[in-house]
Amino acid sequence: MKNVLSLLFLLSILVSCNSSKEEKKIETKEKTQTEMAVKQYQAPVFSIEEANKLIELPLHCVETEYPNKLGQTIGSDEDLESPEALHPIFYGCFDWHSAVHGYWSMVTLVKQFPDMEKADKVKEILQKNITLKNVSKELEYFQKDINKSYERTYGWAWLLKLSEALYTWEDPMGKQLAENLQPLADDIVSKYEEFLPKLVYPIRVGEHTNTAFGLTFAWDYANTTNDTELKNLIERRAKEFYLKDENCPITWEPSGYDFLSPCLEEVDIMRRVLPKKEFTDWLDSFLPALENKNYQLEPGKVGDRSDGKLVHLDGLNFSRAWVLYGLANQYPEYDHLKNVANQHISYSYLNLVGDTYEGGHWLASFAIYALEQK
């Protein structure tokens, strides 16, 4: 009996020791994870000095006609014209939507920093190019039957973002430019209203056709301009597309050419269209990991910034950042995500100014929009 008791006593000691070891392992692991998570990244600075650097990128490309990727459908020999002849405003920056980016960047920077060094140059370009005549020519292109899907919905979204920036510019020149561009904005709105009811499934990719991104910028325009019809349509479709989504596999991201996060773009539109309680419940099911105060998300790594597709990952870092800033600003319980956003910007921002044309013709707009949200 004594031998049995002695054996049981020894076993209890061994179990206790093993348990202590396991507890120490868990404690050490948790401590290591916490230590890794507490690394803080400095918030980016959006100052006039940065504006003076960033403005060089759109100034360099908005009136640079070649190289150019038209991406057009040819209806006849008459369509074989130069980029500037086809698009007298948005002919630069390699492609149509990037040219729109560029104009949005110029308007945004000169609005926020009216004393920036090249403000007069920016205003000169805006007044010279965004004229009623040129807008009419751009509109003519979009109204051809063969161009119904041209730039759908990425370019459409950026055109409305540009229109919104002009609409909110408290400057007589800005008001005139907004009026000049309005016919094209109206046509884009009508295209959204025609297309969205027909779209049965959302497009969940990390590039131009991402539906959530296209809805987000269009919702901003509708909200700012009090277009209740467009706003209500977007809200209805966003809920139909995304309300039942759960456990988005963000660890599968990014794909090699992504400049948008399929998961986070959904967050960006849903935080706009849902009231707080409904949104936070949805987010708890859609991306529950975001609640973790030590949440980590590694920035997308760029293998070659001279490659027009691979440099997309810099854009991904900026677009992820603007979503995370927007979420944290609207809902302070997610404030810890600002550090993740800072990390993403810190990876890509230093490579922006002086970048090759492959990235420089469009990345400034992504960086500026991210900086605006911080």
Could you tell me if residue 341 is inside a domain? Answer: yes
> Which residues constitute the domain of residue 66?
44-373
CATH code, domain with 199: 1.50.10
What Å distances lie between residue 182 and 22, 57, 166, 225, 315, CA to CA? 67, 26, 10, 11, 28
Sort 60 into a burial class: Cβ within 10 Å, 0-12 / 13-18 / 19+.
middle
Per-residue pLDDT tens digits of the chain, which is 374 residues long: 445 444 444 444 344 444 444 544 444 444 444 445 558 999 999 999 999 999 999 999 999 999 999 999 999 999 999 999 999 999 999 999 999 999 999 999 999 999 999 999 999 999 999 999 999 999 999 999 999 999 999 999 999 999 999 999 999 999 999 999 999 999 999 999 999 999 999 999 999 999 999 999 999 999 999 999 999 999 999 999 999 999 999 999 999 999 999 999 999 999 999 999 999 999 999 999 999 999 999 999 999 999 999 999 999 999 999 999 999 999 999 999 999 999 999 999 988 876 676 777 899 999 999 999 99
Sort 120 into a burial class: Cβ within 10 Å, 0-12 / 13-18 / 19+.
exposed
Could you tell me if residue 7 is inside a domain? Answer: no
Q: In this structure, are residues 116 and 110 in contact, taking their beta carbons and an 8 Å threshold? A: yes
How far the first Cα of the chain sits from its last, in Å, is 72
Question: If we measure between CA atoms, which residue out of 214, 191, 193 comes closest to residue 202?
Answer: 214
Q: In this structure, are residues 91 and 83 in contact, taking their beta carbons and an 8 Å threshold? A: yes
Query: Which amino acid, one-letter code, is at 126?
Result: L
* Tally of domains within the chain: 1
Query: Which amino acid, one-letter code, is at 280?
Result: T
Name the pTM for this structure: 0.90
Could you tell me if residue 77 is inside a domain? Answer: yes
d(CA 239, CA 241): 5
Could you tell me if residue 10 is inside a domain? Answer: no
Could you tell me if residue 350 is inside a domain? Answer: yes
Cα radius of gyration (the chain)? 25
